[in-house]
Amino acid sequence: MKPAAKKALMILSKTPLPIAAVVLFALGYTFKGMVSTVPPTASTEAVEKSSEESDDEIWTCSMHPQIRLPEPGKCPLCGMDLIRAEGTVEPKTAKKAKKEPKYACSMFCVPPMPRPGKCPICGMEMVEVEDAGTEEGTPRTLTLSAMAQKLAEIQTVPVERKTVSAEIRMVGKIDYDETRLGYITAWVPGRLDRLYVDYTGVPVQKGDHLVYLYSPELATAQTELLEASQRIQEGKSGEGSILNERAEAWIEDIRDKFRLWGMTDAQIAEIEERGTASDYMTIYAPMGGIVIHKNVLEGSYVKTGTRIYTIADLAHVWVKLDAYESDLAWLRYGQQVEFETEAYPGETFEGKVAFIAPVLDDKTRTVKVRVNVENPDGRLKPKMFVRAIARSEVAIGGRVVDAELAGKWMCPMHPEIVKDELGDCDRCGMPLVRTESLGFVSVDAGDVEAPLVIPASGPLITGKRALVYVELPDEPGTYQGREIRLGPRVGNQYIVLDGLAEGERVVVHGNFKIDSAMQIMAEPSMMSPKGGQPASSHDHGHKQHEGSAKTDAMPSPRQDLDEPDGLKLNIPPAFAGEFSPVLAAYLKTQDALSHDKHKQAQDAAAELHKALAGVDMSLLTGQAHMAWMKEADGMRRAASDIAGSADIQTARAAFALLSESMIVAAKCYGVATETVHRFHCPMAFGDRGGDWLQRKDKTENPYFGSAMFRCGVKKETIGQDSAGGANDGR
């Protein structure tokens, strides 16, 4: 028999039979799973090597202590990280510093191994890797051979300094140009005897007749006009008299009143030539467009100001778009926008941004963007659905580049008005402003620096951290993890604010494989910036369980649970009977929490609080009395927190504190009528662990409930003779 086998038998001979059976079963399962991928000779050598190194360092599982391996890694039964077994010596410093070739598969399924072969997980051929930068404070790197780089499909690109193009996609609808809407109203009261435009959608031109209106006030005003004209004719012989001057001023006032009523000069002249008054008037269109609303019917009586028609000039329309708040950095007033409609697929229309709303819609998280569009043929119709794209060349600092607008002058109200020199807007008369004041710059002018950019597949982003792997220029195949500060994402690229220099090569494909290798080797990585086991490794698994314990609610566990000071106290046997109702209420609380029954746990905690008040403390004296006061106070506060907890997670956090005091009390003051078991869950409260007592011999976890009901390991058994010396039952 080989020395390794003899040594294994010696160890098993000193191990209790149930544990030895589990060890043999685990070893048999492991060897069986590796038969198809690892040659028998390699497996034998690995076992011999593990036996030789076992004198220096042994790694075991906190939940399965029967697992004892010579190297760190994962437990083959539960997948938890192995920990160094107590009583083993630390590895020698010289051995740590020594760099030996290691081999891993290109998928990094397992930690690097000291010998080549096939991966025991996926069966791929192992390739050589090297871990560099072992000294504290130096960046951690990973070196891959040429073959390993090909298998991992590593691809790198240089960091570039250039302007990048952003495409902002928006959706919206066509709407009327509000500045080209007009109302036709009644300027005098009367009756609409005829509507020449009797339905909506009719196109009209400026000067077209619209309404034939009857109004008695017209006849009165026309009579005044004719009388004034007659007086002027009669007084021509006395030309220059004061009377003639007054008559001429009077007739001019009457003419102005007719103009205000909407009558044309031709209509006024016709009245004077006719010489008779009329109570009818025709209303003409003051503008051209489409009648989009008809508000009254023929024969209706109207008052002054009553709206008769609404006319819209559709030769110019607005396109109202919704832009997400994350895209606002790339939108500018006067920017060119292209859009398509459902009515004309494949045809592109253009317009310019004329307005960006100053208020964000908090429901859709979008901002309204208005685009002015020329529509001479009227094909674009209001309420049409459109899909638009705005393209921006982005310089450093997020400024938009447009060489065509550099040095130009633009109207701040009508962006289509652009001139080469200072002047006024042709439409509204406002003074033009420089395009640079509206956010535009030109790289050609030499006043803008292009930003550093990398592909979007390069950085590994988690929360606020961004990590990239950079290929060292003097060491091909060596990749260094580096945290960088990213700016906004523009298309398929990120702007880099800090952490990289132009020309450095960044991994853009295969970076997740490199990062997984760093995690397996417990080096700094995306999820673990300081190296070691990622802080969220167990948390990720726990968060999927609704009943998991809160991570931040539990302080550091007490260190006196195994050997509390109370074990040295002289406790009278009668006090165990006083303690029994307290322990019984506690065990009810544990049972309720392990079965996810929050209300029952609250009731049991209230019962425990009442039982504490009924304990006869006069049986204790001296230090025993003081020790009870300390633990009882902790139990009382924890029981109150459980009874008043808002949810089961809060109750579980308080139960952990209750259990610490209860375990110490059970050991100090004894269990009168029954035997209880102390259990430990290493994954509770963010891997800080938690203990509790229960009646049953099989795990019923109160910190995770049904989510991880059997998670935990029994630490000891406390019986009736525990007072003054616990019966650990290990």
List, for residues 85-104, the tens digit of each pLDDT value: 765 544 443 344 445 667 77
Confidence band of 18 (pLDDT split at 50, 70, 90):
very low
> For residues 650 and 375, what is the distance between their CA atoms, to the nearest angstrom?
64
Q: Is 713 exposed, middle or buried (0-12, 13-18, 19+ CB in 10 A)?
A: middle
pLDDT digits (tens, 9 = 90+) for 675-686: 899 999 988 887
- The SS3 assignment for 428 reads coil
Mean predicted confidence (pLDDT) in 143-150? 84
In this prediction, residue 701 carries a pLDDT of 94
Confidence band of 568 (pLDDT split at 50, 70, 90):
low
Flag the least confident range among 282-286, 411-415, 548-552, 577-581. 548-552
pLDDT digits (tens, 9 = 90+) for 442-458: 555 445 577 889 999 99
What fold characterizes domain 181-311? OB fold (Dihydrolipoamide Acetyltransferase, E2P) (2.40.50)
Q: Is the pLDDT of residue 546 over 50?
A: no
H-only helix segments in 242-380: 242-260, 265-274
pLDDT digits (tens, 9 = 90+) for 320-359: 999 998 888 888 888 889 999 999 999 999 998 888 898 9
The Cα-based distances of 141 to 97, 131, 155, 483, 524 in angstroms read 15, 6, 17, 13, 9
The answer to whether the CB of 193 falls within 8 A of the CB of 211 is no
Q: Is the pLDDT of residue 429 over 60?
A: yes
> For residues 91 and 427, what is the distance between their CA atoms, to the nearest angstrom?
84
Flag the least confident range among 41-45, 319-323, 331-335, 597-601. 41-45
Q: Is the pLDDT of residue 19 over 50?
A: no
Residue 699 — φ and ψ, nearest 5°?
-60, 130
Confidence band of 625 (pLDDT split at 50, 70, 90):
confident
Q: Which helix (H) or strand (E) holds 581?
A: helix 575-594
Strand pairing report for 127-132 and 102-104: antiparallel
Look at the pTM and tell me if it is higher than 0.75: no
Flag the least confident range among 92-96, 185-189, 407-411, 614-618. 92-96
In this prediction, residue 692 carries a pLDDT of 93
The answer to whether the CB of 653 falls within 8 A of the CB of 637 is no
With pLDDT > 70 as the criterion, what percentage of the chain qualifies?
A: 72
Flag the least confident range among 10-19, 95-104, 355-364, 389-398. 10-19
Strand pairing report for 336-341 and 301-302: unpaired
Confidence band of 398 (pLDDT split at 50, 70, 90):
low
Confidence band of 400 (pLDDT split at 50, 70, 90):
low
Helix, strand counts (H, E) of the chain: 15, 36
The answer to whether the CB of 583 falls within 8 A of the CB of 666 is yes
Could you tell me the residue ranges of all domains in the chain? Answer: 1-91, 167-176+313-445, 181-311, 543-718
How many of the other CB atoms lie within 10 Å of CB of 424? 13
* Beta partners for residue 483, in sequence order: 467
Question: Which of 594-598, 669-673, 725-729 shows the highest mean pLDDT?
Answer: 594-598
Q: What is the mean pLDDT of the chain?
A: 76
Both structure tokens of 221? 């005003």
The answer to whether the CB of 676 falls within 8 A of the CB of 591 is no
Flag the least confident range among 143-152, 336-345, 716-725. 716-725
What fold characterizes domain 167-176+313-445? Elongation Factor Tu (Ef-tu); domain 3 (2.40.30)
The Cα-based distances of 19 to 15, 29, 272, 479 in angstroms read 7, 15, 124, 45
- Per the model's pLDDT, the better-predicted residue between 616 and 239 turns out to be 616
- The residue behind tokens 């079965």 is 595
Q: Is the pLDDT of residue 704 over 60?
A: yes
In this prediction, residue 682 carries a pLDDT of 86
- Per the model's pLDDT, the better-predicted residue between 285 and 439 turns out to be 285
> For residues 567 and 570, what is the distance between their CA atoms, to the nearest angstrom?
8
Q: Is the pLDDT of residue 46 over 60?
A: no
Both structure tokens of 61? 């599982």
Flag the least confident range among 152-156, 189-193, 316-320, 326-330. 326-330
Residue 394 — φ and ψ, nearest 5°?
-105, 130
Q: Is the pLDDT of residue 725 over 50?
A: no
> For residues 519 and 531, what is the distance between their CA atoms, to the nearest angstrom?
8
The answer to whether the CB of 83 falls within 8 A of the CB of 57 is no
Residue 164 — φ and ψ, nearest 5°?
-120, 155
pLDDT digits (tens, 9 = 90+) for 103-138: 777 666 666 677 777 776 666 777 776 654 444 444
Q: Is the pLDDT of residue 413 over 60?
A: yes
